[in-house]
Structure 1
């Protein structure tokens, strides 16, 4: 009995060190964002600046690039992708979890196989197809390739399997169609899974640089990671203070979204969303 608190303290200490290691780059980023340029290039490791002159980095960052436009683009693209992913993934996952039909296991095997295929492999044919139909440099090009998510199908399927069959049969007896069962019965019960998937989806596409860099040319369509590249200059040098300030501005929505949804996110992971 005396050993348990000791091991608990050791485990908490290890977790604390791990959390500190992960948080340190973000703390350093915020520290750089409020420091003047003269202090950024000094050899000291002080996190706090000697003056508040560095707060002007945020004003200069907003003047140098339309950051609010990039944030708005990121919010729109991520929201649209998440909407279509849930719209398509939920019915597919329901069919794989609760409906009996020939070839169901084979289709689920293809879903698992799809998890192994990165976007880089399919990017060239998708790009050529979009170029052929003249939809490059548009919101459609940013959203369309990600509307069907095999990870979403897998995650929802695993969670839908935990929904009692008696509840679904009762809904059928009440005259609900299969689509109504998905939208009005099953999906509301699996809100934690939807939240967990939403966090995964938004983080992945908010931070995505590869695909927007390929299909966009107009600055009006830039997403946050692509907009950050505007602070880099091979001729004038990198504006590190403004760059860090812009990074803080662009990272803040993700942090706020996770803090607001963390309870549901943890619940979605711990309640069996990844169980077979």
Structure 2
């Protein structure tokens, strides 16, 4: 009983610490400039300035364009990642060949390499190919995800081999088995990976800051930086409203897919 209380207390404390910055951001998005810098602490504003702040965030910047860019970039990256990761994971999970464990070890090794380490060679490669300041520069470097290969492999390992043998007897090719049998059965893993992928690339500031300089191509985080420097200045109310609008789709998507997200992460851990 005591252990359970301590665990729940630790979880609630951790959740509160994680949520405080988000709650404070939303609170500031409702306040007037005077209240934002008021010495008195208050979550709820005395004078609601939400309409003006969110109106400025949406109309006095290119926020709609930044959001569209984020959808295009994240959708394209996710589709390419599933296209490449699912067959690779199937090969590592269900086929037997010499060097299989070595290749899986390389996938695990790739998980340990920070993406920032590859920024310079990727920048030079994109420059040589003439891809800088294009959507391709924001999408193609992330077309293959080691984490996606790992997650799909772990899920595919739980699918009985008898299903695959039956599909082969029915005349399905290996790629047919991947797309018509394995991926549909791995929907929870696909949803879990989709949330990780979209959140990661929707929030990415480092690589877009290097790869593009045109406002028409900026994803939401980079767009917020431009919005802060050029449009709003020290008016933090609209800036916080912009940040809230950028984060809101991710929160809604996670809440909608929470059950599949948890199942996708835990199913592969239990054989």
State TM-score, norm by structure 2: 0.95
1:131 counterpart = 2:127 = yes
2:60–2:231 CA contact under 8 A, matched in 1? no
1:241 counterpart = 2:199 = no
4+ residue stretches of structure 1 with deviation over 6 A?
A: none
Find the counterpart in structure 2 of residue 15 from structure 1. Answer: 11
Q: 1:44 offset after TM fit, Å?
A: 1.2
Residue 164 of structure 1, aligned match among 157, 160, 164: 160
Secondary structure in 2 matching 1:31: helix
Q: 1:253 offset after TM fit, Å?
A: 0.7
Q: 1:8 offset after TM fit, Å?
A: 2.7
In the TM superposition, what whole-angstrom CA distance separates every residue of 1:217-248 from its partner, at most 9, and x where no partner exists? 11000000001102333998432111100000
Residue 141 of structure 1, aligned match among 137, 140, 145: 137
Give the distance between the partners of 2:45 and 2:172, measured in 1 at CA: 63
47-56 vs 160-169, which moves further: 47-56
State TM-score, norm by structure 1: 0.93
1:44 counterpart = 2:37 = no
Find the counterpart in structure 2 of residue 103 from structure 1. Answer: 99
Q: 1:13 offset after TM fit, Å?
A: 2.7
1:231–1:242 CA contact under 8 A, matched in 2? no
Aligned residues between the structures: 271
134-143 vs 231-240, which moves further: 231-240
15-24 vs 189-198, which moves further: 15-24
Find the counterpart in structure 1 of residue 209 from structure 2. Answer: 213
In the TM superposition, what whole-angstrom CA distance separates every residue of 1:86-120 from its partner, at most 9, and x where no partner exists? 00000001001100111111111111111122222
Secondary structure in 2 matching 1:44: coil
155-164 vs 57-66, which moves further: 57-66
